[in-house]
A and B are shown apart, each in its own frame.
Chain A
Amino acid sequence: MDKLASLLHTTPAIVWMALKIVIVFGGVMSLAAIFTWVERRGSAMIQDRIGPNRAALFGKIRIIGLAQILADGIKMFFKEDLIPTDANRRLFWLAPFLAFVPALLGFAVIPFGKSFMSGGHTYHLSVLDPGNGMGMLYPLAIGGMAVYGVLVAAWSSNNKWSILGGMRASAAMVSYEIGMSLAVVAIFMTAGGYDPSEIITAQGHLPWTWNVVRQPLGFIVFFTCMFAETNRLPFDFAEGESEIVAGFNTEFGSMKFSLMALAEYSHMMTASALIATLYFGGWQVPFVKDPSVMLSVACFVLKLVFFAWVFVWIRWTVPRFRYDQLMRLGWKRMLPLSMVNLVFHAWRMSQGH
């Protein structure tokens, strides 16, 4: 690291920062791309089909259909970029970016491995170092921004289906954010800090001291809210293709649609990383007290991929809710459950001291 820094005439800190940004965002984006394929193969597996397995590199190398991602990308790039006549052109152009950027940014605060020392410096494996003062408030704030992509896309297309989708998305987002935030507050309380690294150290390396065992109620609420937050089935009311055509992205085609889809999958990655960090010990390796850096990173990625797979799994298993059921679930089940969880843990802490 020091040699590389002196070669580039900068400090190791800056080189490390640039490297981290490339690793994190490159990693999340490629995982998101791979999951567009995993989703199709996974759905095929669940529905007893074969799924896309025909795309091949140079017509020969077939690697279980993974080339499908490349084929899709090339196709999307070369499609005609259509904008509806009555659309608000600038907002229509802006919307995919508004959807994509927050989905990716939320990952910045999550530690994806154990910090290590090298040459007198401590290197943290998260884009924002611990102790930045924002901590877990940052993904909550950025997660709230994600709805603007859907809203702007919906409104700028000037299409009735789209606007219905955008309205549903904003209502669902606001209702589920409260329950989610209260679940996270209970974790802040028991961990005694709101920095993700503090939350991870407070959970320890034994699986039965992880927050999922300590706060199962909070986990259920947070997990459910993550589905609403990422607009995935069973809560994908913004899209709802059986009711409102394709909702907010009815009018989007070519690379714009591709960016919207990638935003959804990046959001899924960020959501799985949050679940892993908050409830499953982040980079902690079960039963290993002091894991090596590579092992901790591998363990975190494994947890992330597993929860991303759960998102796919549930999408193809559970049917879509009705809109009023979604609202009732959010306000009358999730919010009270979250409050019970918070008050119970506050009470337990007050008994403990």
Chain B
Amino acid sequence: MFITFALITLLSALGMLLQKNIIVAGLFMVGAFFGVAGLFVLLANPVAAALQIIVYTGAIMVLVLFVIMMLNSHEEEKAQSPRAIQRWLSIAVVAALAVGAVKLVFASPGLKALAIRGAAMPEAMTLQKVGLTLFADHVLGFEVAGLLLLAAMIGAVALTKRNL
């Protein structure tokens, strides 16, 4: 199961990168989101999976595709002056990031605990638990995030509507 979802995610991500057509690339991205949602379910966290689909594929990607359709650009624009160094630099940065991420995962305490205790089936996450954790342990972060989003929303309205 893990291999299936991982393959869906990776192949869709690859398809998104290689696809010249923007709308098709967006649909590949939706496929990648679905793969990640499947991985969340395998991690006994159906709430995260549902939220992933509601927020990312149900709202954000729809808005992105809406904007693309409004501008009605069917083909990708050619880069103005393609430089080889950009490509190599980006590959180097991505490789460094990947190595760093893998190192972080291998050094995490959760992995050590897993090696000692064995992979016991974790208890499934529910919406109640998410709410309790948010409001009991991470109130400050939650409120700051809420305030930031509100400020961003007001800023967006103020920028687009000159005469309210």
Contacts and interface: CB of A to CB of B under 8 A. Distances in A.
Interface of A: 88, 91, 132-135, 137-138, 140-145, 147-148, 151-152, 154-155, 163, 166-167, 170-171, 173-174, 177, 181, 188, 193-194
Interface in B46-79: 46-47, 49-51, 53-54, 57-59, 62-63, 65-66, 69-70, 72
21 contacts: A88-B24, A91-B24, A133-B44, A133-B125, A134-B49, A137-B47, A138-B50, A140-B50, A141-B53, A141-B58, A144-B59, A147-B62, A151-B62, A151-B69, A152-B23, A154-B69, A155-B23, A155-B69, A170-B66, A173-B62, A194-B127
Contacts of A188: 127
Contacts, number: 81
A163 B62 contact: no
Given A133-B46, A151-B65, A170-B66, A145 B127 contact: no
A41 B128 CA distance: 46
A134 B72 CA distance: 37
Contacts of B11: none
A142 B34 CA distance: 11
A164 to B, nearest CB: 9
B80 to A, nearest CB: 27
A338 B58 CA distance: 20
Nearest to B70: A167
A294 to B, nearest CB: 31
Contacts of B21: 88
Nearest to B65: A151
A166 B62 CA distance: 10
Contacts of A145: 53, 57-58
B58 to A, nearest CB: 2
B27 interface: yes
Nearest to B49: A134
A143 B128 CA distance: 22
* 6 closest A-B pairs by CB: A144-B58, A133-B46, A137-B50, A141-B53, A170-B66, A134-B46
A263 to B, nearest CB: 17
Contacts of B23: 91, 152, 155
A174 B125 contact: no
Contacts of B66: 167, 170-171, 174
A167 B62 CA distance: 10
A177 B58 contact: yes
B50 A177 contact: no
A137 B72 contact: no
A173 B47 CA distance: 22
Given A137-B51, A174-B63, 5 more contacts: A137-B54, A137-B127, A144-B54, A145-B57, A163-B69
A134 B47 CA distance: 6
A166 B69 contact: yes
A184 to B, nearest CB: 11
A267 to B, nearest CB: 15
Nearest to B54: A141
Nearest to B45: A133
B150 to A, nearest CB: 14
A144 B57 CA distance: 8
B53 to A, nearest CB: 4
Interface in B1-33: 21, 23-24, 27, 30
A181 B23 CA distance: 27
Nearest to A155: B23
A152 B57 CA distance: 14
B126 interface: yes
Contacts of B47: 133-134, 137
B132 interface: no
A134 B126 CA distance: 8
Contacts of A132: 46
A155 B128 CA distance: 40
Nearest to A86: B74
